[in-house]
Amino acid sequence: MKKYTGGCHCGAVPYEVETDLEKIISCNCSHCEKKGLLLVFVDKDKFKLLKGEDNLTEYKFNKKKYSSFVL
């Protein structure tokens, strides 16, 4: 496993994750396709929010089955 860091576009919500990147998913939504973004899901215990929790909101997409945190 390797540790990766990331965050939102403005830098207000930095985080780090620990993953091996085995199961990368190519998203077909217009936003991800346009930018060439890829997804990987990690267990909660492998995700660490470093700051900015007050900037998060919940976003449910598709058929309201999946949700993610909007940064």
Residue with tokens 């976003």: 59
Tell me the pLDDT band of 31, cut-offs 50, 70 and 90.
Answer: confident
Measured CA to CA, the distance from residue 51 to residue 63 in angstroms comes to 30
Measured CA to CA, the distance from residue 12 to residue 45 in angstroms comes to 22
**Does residue 33 surpass a pLDDT of 60?**
yes
Domains of the chain: residue spans and CATH: 2-70 (2.170.150.70)
Instruction: Kindly report the pTM of this predicted structure.
Output: 0.68
Tell me the pLDDT band of 71, cut-offs 50, 70 and 90.
Answer: very low
Please give the share of the chain, as a percent, with pLDDT higher than 70.
83
